[in-house]
Amino acid sequence: MIVIVLLIFCVGVLSSLFIFQFEQNLMLRSCFSMMAVVVFLSACSEPKQAVGVSNAENVSPELPISLSDPKALLGSQLFFDTNLSKQRNQSCGTCHDIANAFVDKRQDALLGAVSLGSDGHSMGGRNTPTAGYAAFSPAFYRMSNGEYRGGQFLDGRASGLAQQAEGPFLNPLEMALPDGASVVERVKENPRYVDLFNTLYGQDILEDAQTGYAAITNAIATFEKTALFMPFDSKYDRALRGEAKLTPQEELGKPCFSLSNLLIVTHVINSVRHHSMPKKRSRIMSIVI
């Protein structure tokens, strides 16, 4: 693969020189030079095979879950319930604001660089990432080259959305409840919740702290797998569906945009989570060739 890519790289460079000498056509020259750079970068980010499972196999196939799914509906209520924090003033949705692409728009901690906790003075150590498209993160795994991919949180320490949701309730810098049992007790304060959990997860599921907490995080994870969290409504997504037309400049930038090592752009989430690496690679190659 590397050999082929390097070969194409050389052809790109040579063609660029050729055109430079004989055509003096600025447009074509820059096009070919860019192709050469793109292929070179593409070679640098050679797709890496995971140990054991492939990236594509790690991503859940059943997304998105319907918004009318009863567990998702229950999860939506929990996601926005401020009673589930120490001072009854903060929900998941406080930091992952649904009106703001599920990031924190508050400016009250280090000018918005981090998030303020339920206690009103604790500050998290990291900027709140979007909870959108998080369902597409594959399970945490190690690549054959030793790099790690996937998982939830910036360091991948939670293996899925349900495990991730266990964290914020108990994080003293966030919702700050002492343990899972306390979260379950707060949920049980609301008789409507108790009825719904009994119906959807089994009678008296909340009577045991462990099974109760697992059901709570499962409901939240189900909500995070609905289309609300994955609208795919950027111009890029619409262009992929044929509903919008990219400008010539945007078309020119598309190969770079698709490269995993150049994804520090606003659409990072859509690209990384929507398309598996091998697909991206073949698209780049077909553009180049």
Q: Which residues bind ligand HEC (CB under 6 A)?
A: 90, 92, 94-96, 115, 117, 124, 126, 128-129, 131, 134, 137, 152-154, 161, 164-165, 168-169, 174-175, 220
Question: Residue 175 or 196: which CB sits closer to ligand HEC?
Answer: 175
Tokens of 16: 């660029």
Q: Nearest residue to ligand HEC, using CB? A: 92
19 versus 92: smaller Cβ distance to ligand HEC: 92
What's the closest the beta carbon of residue 8 comes to ligand HEC, in angstroms?
34
Smallest gap from Cβ 168 to ligand HEC, in A, equals 3
Helices (H), the chain: 2-22, 26-44, 55-58, 70-79, 92-95, 161-170, 180-188, 191-201, 209-223, 235-240, 248-258, 268-274, 277-288
Taking the complex as a whole, the smallest distance from the CB of residue 10 to ligand HEC amounts, in Å, to 39
Work out how close the CB of 84 gets to ligand HEC at its nearest, in angstroms, rounded to a whole number: 7
Minimum distance, C-beta of residue 244 to ligand HEC, in the bound complex (Å): 26
> Which one, 16 or 76, has the nearer CB to ligand HEC?
76
DSSP-assigned letter for residue 103: B
Neighbours of 145 (CB within 10 A): 9
Cα radius of gyration (the chain)? 23
Closer residue to ligand HEC, CB minimum distance, 31 or 272: 272
In angstroms, what is the minimal distance from the CB of 79 to ligand HEC? 6
Note whether 206 and 215 are within 8 A (CB): yes
Q: Report the first-to-last Cα separation within the chain, whole angstroms.
A: 14
Q: 112 vs 129, which CB is nearer to ligand HEC?
A: 129
> Which CB atom, from 124 or from 255, has the smaller least distance to ligand HEC?
124
Tell me how far CA of residue 208 lies from CA of 7, 128, 185, 198, 273, in angstroms: 63, 31, 10, 12, 36
- Residue 175 CA to residue 80 CA, distance in Å, equals 12
What is d(CA 124, CA 172) in angstroms, rounded to the nearest whole number?
A: 9
Residue 55 to residues 52, 68, 272, Cα–Cα distance (Å): 10, 29, 11
Contact 184, 247 (CB under 8 A): no
CB of 124 to ligand HEC, least distance (A): 4
Nearer of residues 131 and 184 to ligand HEC, judged by Cβ: 131
